[in-house]
């Protein structure tokens, strides 16, 4: 988690960006092959949540988005030996309104693509869990909780 904790932050905004029944996902250079997840990022100091969400979407996916609705808030505690790190995620449903799916911040994001819900909840989820890394298991849980929230409406 230390790479995500720049400026002491302990949160992320996760974006489930939909277009024509498919979902934007990203991969980072450090991810194992075949590991994808919903784009996410943190707010800059003093940045409003909507502005941060729009900025992160553009940086990570190349897409301009419209936030559709707030979906879930999740609090977790990551443990690594003696280290304890509280973390929370704010998850939003968004719609792609312009742009092409191609990361702008290519130092942080190595690839972006569209996936179906079945891919996200099937093989992608399986790869996240199989990685054996707690952070990826957390991302799989975020995917599960998000689609459960979408189904509840």
Query: Which residues of the chain fall below pLDDT 50?
Result: 1-5
What pLDDT sits at residue 7? 53
What pLDDT sits at residue 5? 45
What pLDDT sits at residue 77? 75
Asked if 134 and 85 touch (Cβ cutoff 8 Å), the reply is no
Its pTM stands at 0.88
Measured CA to CA, the distance from residue 129 to residue 149 in angstroms comes to 21
Q: What is the CATH number of domain 2-152?
A: 3.90.79.10
What pLDDT sits at residue 52? 93
Domain boundaries, the chain: 2-152
61-76 pLDDT, tens digit each: 999 999 999 999 888 7
What pLDDT sits at residue 148? 95
Asked if 22 and 11 touch (Cβ cutoff 8 Å), the reply is no
Measured CA to CA, the distance from residue 35 to residue 30 in angstroms comes to 10
128-141 pLDDT, tens digit each: 999 998 889 989 99
What pLDDT sits at residue 3? 44
């Amino acid at each position: 988690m230390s790479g995500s904790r720049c400026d002491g932050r302990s949160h992320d905004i996760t974006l489930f960006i939909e277009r024509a029944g498919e979902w934007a996902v990203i991969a980072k250079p450090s991810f194992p092959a075949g590991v994808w997840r919903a784009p996410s990022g943190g707010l800059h100091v003093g940045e409003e949540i909507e502005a941060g969400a729009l900025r992160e979407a553009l940086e990570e996916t190349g897409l301009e988005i419209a936030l559709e609705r707030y979906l879930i808030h999740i609090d977790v505690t990551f443990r690594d030996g003696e280290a304890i790190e509280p973390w929370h995620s704010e998850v939003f449903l968004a719609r792609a309104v312009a742009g092409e799916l191609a990361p702008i911040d290519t130092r942080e994001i190595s690839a972006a693509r569209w996936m179906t819900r079945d891919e996200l909840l099937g093989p992608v989820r399986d790869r996240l869990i199989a990685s054996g890394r707690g952070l990826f298991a957390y991302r799989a849980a975020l995917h599960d909780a998000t689609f459960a929230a979408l189904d509840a409406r």
